Structure 1
Amino acid sequence: MGHSSVSASPGSQSRLRTVRLDGTPVYRYQQRPGLPPISVTRFDTETAHADLPPDHRHAHDFLVLVYVEEGAGSVVIGGAERPLRAGQVHAVSPGQVIGVADVTELAHSRAWSAAFTPDAVPALASVSPLTWTHHPLLALFGPGAGHGRVAEPDRATWSALLTDLAGELADPGRLGAREAIAATLTRLLVAAARLAPSAPGAPDPLVEQVFAEIEATFREPVSAADVARTLGYTPGHLTTVLRRRTGRPLLEWITERRMIEVRRMLRETDLPLDAVAARTGLRDATYLVRRFRNRYGTTPQRWRRAERAWP
């Protein structure tokens, strides 16, 4: 197995990040330097059962798009039961808990799972990550959406796109692979977005406030307490509310925004680490290296070299 999907726990491209108070494991995308932050797996659940957590419940801090070619049974995503039927597409947002009521019902299912972070798509990498939840390409991941069904004449196209994406990812070093991967994932997201309701759900005003404040201040050495105080909340209360509504606590959102900017600067500039740290609200180069290694499993210097070596 590769990544987690609706019916399988994460594999080689993800690792356990934390365990919630209720015992639910949360998995983080483990991006490898020089490779795009996306993994595609085609599987049948008979081979996936051994990888499931003991109670089948888990969550991710990345996006997962699942396309069902043949299905039976159902899964529970974010507290809502969703059927697994041919042509169904399920969008699993970061933080949503995925559960399986009866694993044996899934024995006749075949599906694709595409797990990725939004910056795998150029159109999303060029905007603030705090606006990703409302970007048109991620409409199926938005409030009031979460799933759709592909019309029968279009199902072969979905399977072909996922097959092509898996093929490019199998040999990412060949000429044009980077562009082909980004283009194919974009086509999949466009197709998924067209399955979303025409009237998207309203954004959460508090989450919007928090994200706006993070975007305005992440380049400064602000803390979660600073952001909470500016918005008139205690850090504990705001962290609890944000975790419940987005799947992540306040500090993680601040750190994630900084790390994405660090990666952009490593990829696009020759600035030394001290300068990168100073421009992303981090204490110094030593602290940046420690945070970066903890998040990505490698040093910023190795990341930069690997990114530039990728054709």
Structure 2
Amino acid sequence: MTEMARAVRLHAGVPVYQYRTDPATPPVSVLRFGPHSHPGYDQRHIHDFPVLVYVERAAPPSPGAPGAPDLPGDPVADGDAFVVAQGAVVHPRAVAALTAGTGLFFDPTALGGDERAAWPSWRAHPLLLPFLHQIPGGLLRVRVPPARRPRWAATIGAIETELADQQDGYRQAALAHLTLLLVDVARLATDVVGDLRRSNEPLLAEVFEVIERRFTEPLSLREVADSIGMTPGHLTTVVRRRTGRTVVGWITERRLTEARRLLTGTDLPVGEIARRVGLPDAGYFARVFRAGHAVTPREYRAGFTSTEA
């Protein structure tokens, strides 16, 4: 996973991987799984971004091989697609059962022209609602009908070609192909999406609304908690359990999302960008940005400019 993702923290001892957002990393990546192919999948891990796995042809089960208890339902079959829930712990036995599949990893904020509207991405973007499921094991299975399977294989192949050739507009083209697959997933997972729309999510909605209104100013966990009438400790526990991230983590993520937009879409000085995202100390802003992206704000802007040139 080192090409497109990196471990950024531990959650209950389990490494959490974040999709890289540096200019050199494409917004979507494709991994062809195979035995011993990708270090990092041989341990329990969490994706802090959406993952879709498609099994074009399932590997025949080995006689006497142990099952994969983290997989829902029947054994893996041709045409199965698995939606990996953001924040869910993925067990290596589940991954082992998907070694015949292809993984699509992507940055959810890239799905759309306005990053502000894409945050939190799975709440604002209807195509990402299936990634909110809470199925034990973190895997939602959708079965791709036989008539659609050639299109899925061709679309994944087209994404790989765009990423390999990197011709002008390849990032947009790769995302366009990915969007077609996500439309299919949303249609195949209609029941799950309906359940999510009807689910009791008012607390998270309130938290995100407070952060959205106030991230451009100094904002603490206690202030968010006070705004919705909860203690900071209880709010932290609930939000971490539901999303895999703390309230402070979400505040930081929203600020970094806006910072990336301003760095790449404006000529504003870094100090002014720091002020606009609620971190008026430019030095502290630079440290927070570097911790999240492994580069400074100026390096990020320069890298994006050189990539687009």
- Once the two structures are superposed, the pairs formed by residues 238-249 of structure 1 within 5 Å of their partners are 238-249=235-246
Cα offset, 1:177, TM superposition: 1.1
2:115 matches 1:125: yes
Rounded to whole Å, the distance in 2 between the matches of 1:264 and 1:42 is 31
Q: Given the superposition, is the C-alpha separation of residues 284 and 300 from structure 1 closer, same or farther in structure 2, using an over 3 Å criterion? A: same
**1:75–1:100 contact (8 Å) kept in structure 2:** no
Match of 1:157 in 2: 151
> Aligned with 2:78: secondary structure?
coil
Tell me the amino acid that sits aligned with residue 154 of structure 2: A
In structure 1, distance between residues paired with 2:238 and 2:4: 29
SS in 2 for 1:59: strand
- Aligned CA distance change for structure 1 residues 185 and 75 (closer, same or farther; 3 Å): farther
What SS does the corresponding residue of 1:148 show, helix, strand or coil? strand
Question: Aligned in 2, Cα 1:28/1:109: closer, same or farther, shift over 3 Å?
Answer: closer
Deviation at 1:121, TM superposition (A): 1.6
In structure 2, the residue matched to 1:60 is 47
The size of the alignment, in residue pairs, is 293
Q: Which runs of 4+ in 1 moved over 6 A?
A: none
Query: How far apart, in 1, do the equivalents of 2:107 and 2:31 lie?
Result: 15
Q: Distance in 2 between matches of 1:295 and 1:244?
A: 22
SS at match of 1:194: helix
Distance 1:187 1:237 in 2: 40
* Partner in structure 1 of residue 253 of structure 2: 256
The code of the aligned residue for 2:220 comes to S
Distance 2:215 2:26 in 1: 25
Question: What TM-score, normalized by structure 2, do the two folds share?
Answer: 0.86
Distance 1:303 1:81, change over 3 A: farther
Alignment of 1:274 with 2:271, yes or no, is yes
| Cα shift readout 1:225-269 (whole Å, capped 9, x = no counterpart) | 211122122222111110101111111111101100000011111
Q: Spell out the pairing of 1:111-190 with structure 2 (5 A cutoff).
A: 111-122=101-112, 125=115, 127-130=117-120, 132-133=122-123, 135-143=125-133, 146-172=140-166, 174-190=167-183
Q: Percent identity?
A: 40
| Structure 2: runs of 5+ lacking an equivalent | 62-66
CA contact (8 A) 2:159 2:174 kept: yes
Task: Quote the residue 1:48 is aligned against.
Answer: 37
| Residue matched to 1:286 | 283
SS at match of 1:32: coil
Counterparts in 2 of 1:122 and 1:138: CA distance versus 1, 3 Å: same
What value does the CA root-mean-square deviation take over the aligned residues? 2.4
- Paired residues of 2:32 and 2:102 also in contact (CA < 8 A): yes
> Using the alignment, how far apart are the partners of 1:148 and 1:102 within structure 2?
16
Are residues 1:227 and 2:224 paired? yes
- For 2:265, the aligned partner's letter is E
Q: Contact 1:122–1:182 at 8 Å: present in 2 too?
A: no
Q: Which secondary structure state, in structure 1, belongs to the residue aligned with residue 16 of structure 2?
A: strand
Tell me the alpha carbon deviations over residues 168-211 of structure 1, each in whole angstroms, 9 at most, x when there is no partner: 12233x21212212211211211211111242422411111111
SS at match of 1:90: strand
Check conservation: 2:116, 2:258, Cα contact below 8 A. no
